């Protein structure tokens, strides 16, 4: 079976409070975008599971990879056979795009279909949430307001319909720990939905990703990139998640400078 796990972007990201489990309560809108990894698995002829990773290098051994962990979770529950798995990485890691989470969720969905396990979407979400906070989003893979650690999902309107998205990766990752290092949670923010419903023309300066302050202070080139996106006519620009990727939303007809194109990793109509 061949699967194409896609990335996501965040529209706004509010860090509301610190939890007793040392995670944070968040509020954000997650929206799927078209840049994808490639994931393939077949039954293993060697009676042993192998995971081969090509494309963008990723750290860690096989047992720590989210794709393998997703397989191991369902293997143990349903006595699945060994597999030969190939993951080709295209989505940059440490970019706030959810690539690893998407790989894991698509592995769960693929195994459910291939082996006819009969798991519902809600059951898949529960399994996905045990692997990572963003994983549940990729089960249904539609725009959704995420809260809690990111695992509580409510379907949302497609606020980006008809927009052109340009996605940029600066060539380096930002760790989640770095992004959280300067965060001061604020439970009294205006609700994300009320900001979104004001419309795209009002989002600049209102629809905020709380991680930008900390991350931009450490990596000022990201602030420069965001300013360049607005300078090239973006209707809205933001960092995705905890970074380091940034995106700009443009009218369907747009033109950007050759200098800005250097970090472009995906563009498409939403």
Annotated active-site residue 164? The verdict is no
Of the residues 37, 103, 134, 210, only one is catalytic, namely 134
CB atoms within 10 A of CB 230: 13
User: Residue 135 gets which letter from DSSP?
Assistant: T
Strands 2-3 and 38-43: antiparallel
Looking at the DSSP assignment, which residues form a beta bridge with residue 3? 39
CB atoms within 10 A of CB 256: 18
Looking at the DSSP assignment, which residues form a beta bridge with residue 228? none
Contacts of 210 (CB under 8 A, 6+ apart): 13, 14, 15, 183, 186
Structure tokens at 14: 């509010």
Q: Percent helix, strand and coil across the chain, each rounded to 5?
A: 30, 30, 40
Rounded-to-integer distance, Cα 104 and Cα 87, Å: 11
Annotated active-site residue 134? The verdict is yes
Torsion of CA 167, 24, 212, 163, to 10 degrees: 30
Of the residues 8, 109, 164, 226, only one is catalytic, namely 8
Is residue 186 within 8 Å of residue 213, measured between CB atoms? no
Report DSSP letters for 80-94, one per residue: PPPEEEEEEE-SPTT
Structure tokens at 150: 């990111």
Give the residue numbers annotated as catalytic, written as ranges.
8, 134
């Amino acid at each position: 079976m061949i699967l194409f796990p896609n990335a996501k972007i965040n529209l706004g990201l509010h860090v509301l409070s610190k939890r007793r489990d040392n995670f944070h309560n968040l509020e954000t809108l997650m929206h799927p975008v078209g840049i994808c990894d490639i994931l393939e698995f077949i039954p293993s002829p060697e009676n042993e599971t192998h995971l081969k990773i090509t494309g963008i290098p990723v750290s860690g051994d096989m047992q720590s990879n989210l794709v393998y962990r997703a397989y191991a979770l369902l293997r143990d529950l349903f006595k699945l056979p060994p597999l030969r798995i190939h993951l080709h990485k295209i989505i940059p890691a440490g970019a706030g795009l959810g690539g690893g989470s998407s790989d894991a969720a698509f592995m769960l969905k693929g195994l459910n279909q291939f082996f006819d396990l009969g798991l519902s979407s809600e059951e898949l979400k529960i399994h996905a949430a045990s692997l990572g906070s963003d994983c549940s989003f990729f089960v249904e893979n539609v725009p959704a307001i995420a809260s809690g650690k990111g695992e509580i999902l409510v379907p949302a309107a497609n606020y980006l319909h008809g927009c052109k998205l340009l996605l940029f990766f600066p060539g380096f990752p930002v760790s989640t720990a770095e992004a959280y290092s300067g965060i001061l949670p604020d439970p009294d923010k205006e609700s994300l939905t009320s900001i979104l419903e004001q419309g795209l023309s009002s989002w600049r300066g209102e629809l905020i990703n709380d991680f930008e302050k900390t991350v931009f202070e450490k990596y000022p080139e990201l602030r420069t990139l965001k300013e360049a996106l607005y300078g090239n006519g973006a209707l809205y620009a933001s960092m995705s998640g905890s970074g380091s990727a940034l995106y700009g939303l443009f009218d369907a007809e747009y033109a950007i400078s050759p200098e800005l194109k250097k970090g472009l990793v995906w563009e498409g109509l939403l």
